[in-house]
Amino acid sequence: MVTAPTEFLDYRHERVQRFVAKAIGDATTPKDQAVRLFYAVRDGLHYEVSGQDLSREGLRASAIVASGQGFCAHKSILYAAAVRAVGIPSRIVVSEVRNHLASPALKALVGGDTFVHWLTSIRLGGRWLYVTPVFNKVLCRLYRMEPLEFDGESDARLHPFSGGDRMEFRTEHGHFDDVDYDRLIGLMRSRHPGMFTEGTVVPDAGSLAAQAAEI
């Protein structure tokens, strides 16, 4: 069921419950709650790749709240769990994208400019929307990007870049009611072996914020 708690979308955990309650405040409609949770995840968690935990334990929503940071996988898992906590159906979406604004250090870590990219789909107003609560406002400012906004009515999927270019979606690997850990981490291992040279914790390639000047 796309509203049930799962191993990874463990929204009944007290940490996730506190995160959700603080984020939604006095919002009562599913649309307003989904929007507030989007910004809480987008800007409340620092976006970082180096040092992030890709173990089963590290990819649980409760662990992501405790960490306070992560990249697309972590943020999309937390958002999917958070909206389920208020009764909004959600799924994890995994795709591959080309991101031409990656720093040289990040390209070296992942093996190029094509990334396995995680986002979320949620059901609002009788239809499924793509939602990407990933790149926080501060990081976007450093990379001279416009942050991706969400109004609760339209997809928030195609991230705008200065100059009119957008992240290029190439392959979609599916929609998942929970993290299919072996399949999805296996996909990441095959595409980005450099991220797994130290087990399931991504090696330190430096802060993305510090690398912004290299773009």
- Predicted confidence band of residue 159 (pLDDT cuts 50, 70, 90): low
Instruction: State the CATH number of the domain containing residue 65.
Output: 3.10.620
Confidence (pLDDT) at 206: 79
Beta carbons within 10 angstroms of residue 125's beta carbon: 10
In whole angstroms, give the CA distance from residue 80 to residue 177. 9
Spell out the residues 6+ positions from residue 210 whose beta carbon is closer than 8 angstroms to its own: none
- Decide if 6 is inside a domain: no
Q: Output the pTM of the full model.
A: 0.93
| 116 within some domain | yes
Strands 90-98 and 168-176: antiparallel
Are 131 and 120 contacting, i.e. CB atoms less than 8 angstroms apart? yes
- The band of 135, judged by pLDDT with boundaries at 50, 70 and 90, is confident
Spatial contact of 46 and 79, defined as CB atoms under 8 Å apart: no
pLDDT computed for residue 214 by the predictor = 64
Is residue 155 assigned to a domain? yes
Amino acid present at 63: A
Residue 86 identity: V
194 in a domain, yes or no?
yes
**Cβ atoms within 10 A of the Cβ of 68, count?**
10
Residue 192 maps to a domain: yes
Mean pLDDT for the chain overall: 91
Examine residue 113 and state whether it is found in any structural domain, yes or no: yes
User: Which DSSP letter does residue 182 get?
Assistant: H
Taking only the tens place, the pLDDT of each residue in 85-130 is 999 999 999 999 987 667 888 889 999 989 999 999 999 999 999 9
What is the DSSP annotation of 58-79? TTSHHHHHHH-EE-HHHHHHHH
Longest CA–CA span in the chain (Å) reads 45
Q: Is residue 8 part of a domain?
A: no
Total tally of structural domains belonging to the chain: 1
Sheet holding 90-98, edge to edge: 127-131, 114-124, 90-98, 168-176
Answer whether residue 115 is part of any domain. Answer: yes
28-76 pLDDT tens trace: 999 999 999 999 999 999 999 999 999 999 999 999 999 999 999 999 9
For residue 172, give every residue at least 6 positions away whose Cβ sits within 8 Å of its Cβ, in sequence order, or none. 93, 94, 95, 96
Cα Rg for the chain, rounded, in angstroms? 16
- Range(s) of the domain holding residue 109: 14-214
